[in-house]
């Protein structure tokens, strides 16, 4: 992880100096070396099955549920769930001109620059390294081809899970998203029940309601308004969808069409991943 965060930071510095005009030049020798070192460091990190801790990525449109499924899997597999959207929101919460600049971008549904996001991610990886974290599930990164190339230059990604959901459900899910301002729990008040496509079954996604103690403390993300969600979806199709093809071409992409809400989709996702449900996760809201 140290090598990865250092190498990612190196790439950020390289972008700052505009040294790297093309992706092939970006990771260069330093990052390549770092990747080898990172791989070598996996030796003592082997788990019971003999493989190193997972290094997975979650892709998918805003509202698809990346955070929900990534955080459940991270608890199951004992690896950190690193959501770049959370890193951005933490940065937004600290006072100063930087957070004002960020808010301008995020609240209009745009992506922050690769340089900013890579700096935030490197810092998070370094903090994790100090705590002895191993492996990761990335959620919301990479979101551009350039980010994917930088990541590829510094470490091996084992698997990329591409969550898919019908567009009308995505908008409703973003608009129904709520967070408890006290405990940080994520909920969804949307009850989605839509006609099946081409004679297929209806899609039902029950709401994920907060417990009574959180009900009066629910807040909505400022970028979860209809106008901004539509822009985020447009930006996803434009800049992030090509990342799916990037990983498909490398044979790393697992496409997963969500059949419905969490109770229906979670066991099917585990099945697709060939994982056993330890049974602990069923009731917890995430």
Phi first, then psi, for residue 203 (nearest 5°) are -110, 120
Q: Which residues, listed in sequence order, are joined to residue 253 by a DSSP beta bridge? A: 160
Helix (H, G, I), strand (E, B) or coil at 93: helix
Helix-strand-coil split of the chain, %, nearest 5: 50, 15, 35
Helix (H, G, I), strand (E, B) or coil at 27: coil
Which range, of 30-38, 110-118, 165-173, 247-255, touches ligand ADP by CB under 6 A? 110-118
Q: Write down the least CB distance from residue 62 to ligand ADP, Å.
A: 3
Write each residue from 118 to 147 as x if it is in contact with ligand ADP (CB under 6 A), else as -, in one continuous string.
----------------------xx-x---x
Give the integer Cα–Cα distance in Å for 215 and 227. 26
Under the binding rule (CB under 6 A), the answer on residue 178 touching ligand ADP is: no
| Closer by beta carbon to ligand ADP, 52 or else 208 | 208
Site for ligand ADP in 200-219 (CB under 6 A): none
Q: Which residues, listed in sequence order, are joined to residue 179 by a DSSP beta bridge? A: 186, 219
| Closer by beta carbon to ligand ADP, 42 or else 286 | 286
Q: Write down the least CB distance from residue 117 to ligand ADP, Å.
A: 4
| Binding-site member from 53, 59, 62, 73 for ligand ADP (CB under 6 A) | 62
Contacts of 210 (CB under 8 A, 6+ apart): 178, 180, 185, 187, 218, 285
Which range, of 69-77, 107-115, 188-196, 243-251, touches ligand ADP by CB under 6 A? 107-115
Q: Write down the least CB distance from residue 184 to ligand ADP, Å.
A: 14
| Binding-site member from 26, 34, 54, 88 for ligand ADP (CB under 6 A) | 88
Handedness of CA 52, 61, 25, 82 (dihedral sign): negative
Helix (H, G, I), strand (E, B) or coil at 147: helix
Query: What residues line the site for ligand ADP (CB under 6 A)?
Result: 62, 84-85, 88, 105-106, 110-112, 117, 140-141, 143, 147, 223, 232
């Amino acid at each position: 992880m140290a090598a990865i965060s250092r190498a990612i930071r190196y790439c950020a510095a390289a972008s700052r100096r505009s040294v790297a005009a093309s992706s092939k030049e970006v990771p260069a020798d330093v990052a390549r070396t770092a990747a080898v070192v990172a791989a070598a460091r996996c030796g003592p990190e082997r788990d019971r099955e003999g493989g190193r801790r997972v290094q997975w990525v979650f892709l998918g449109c805003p509202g698809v549920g990346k955070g929900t499924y990534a955080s459940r899997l991270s608890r199951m597999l004992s690896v950190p769930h690193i959501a770049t959207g959370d890193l951005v929101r933490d940065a937004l919460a600290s006072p100063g001109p930087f957070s004002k600049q960020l808010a301008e971008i995020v609240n209009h549904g745009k992506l922050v620059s690769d340089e900013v996001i890579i700096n935030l991610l490197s810092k998070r990886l370094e903090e994790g390294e100090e705590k002895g974290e191993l492996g990761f599930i990335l959620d919301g990164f990479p979101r551009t081809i350039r980010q994917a190339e930088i990541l590829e230059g510094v470490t091996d990604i084992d698997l990329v899970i591409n969550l898919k959901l019908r567009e009308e459900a995505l908008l409703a899910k973003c608009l129904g998203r709520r967070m408890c301002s006290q405990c940080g729990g994520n909920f969804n008040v949307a009850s989605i029940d839509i006609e099946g496509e081409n004679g297929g079954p209806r899609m039902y996604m029950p709401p994920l309601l907060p417990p009574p103690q959180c009900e009066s403390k629910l807040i909505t993300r400022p970028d979860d308004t209809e106008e901004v969600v539509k822009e985020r979806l447009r930006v996803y199709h434009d800049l992030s969808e090509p990342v799916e093809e990037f990983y498909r071409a490398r044979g790393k992409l697992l496409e997963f069409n969500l059949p419905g809400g969490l109770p229906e989709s979670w066991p099917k996702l585990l099945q697709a991943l060939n994982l056993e449900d330890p049974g602990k996760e069923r009731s917890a809201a995430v």
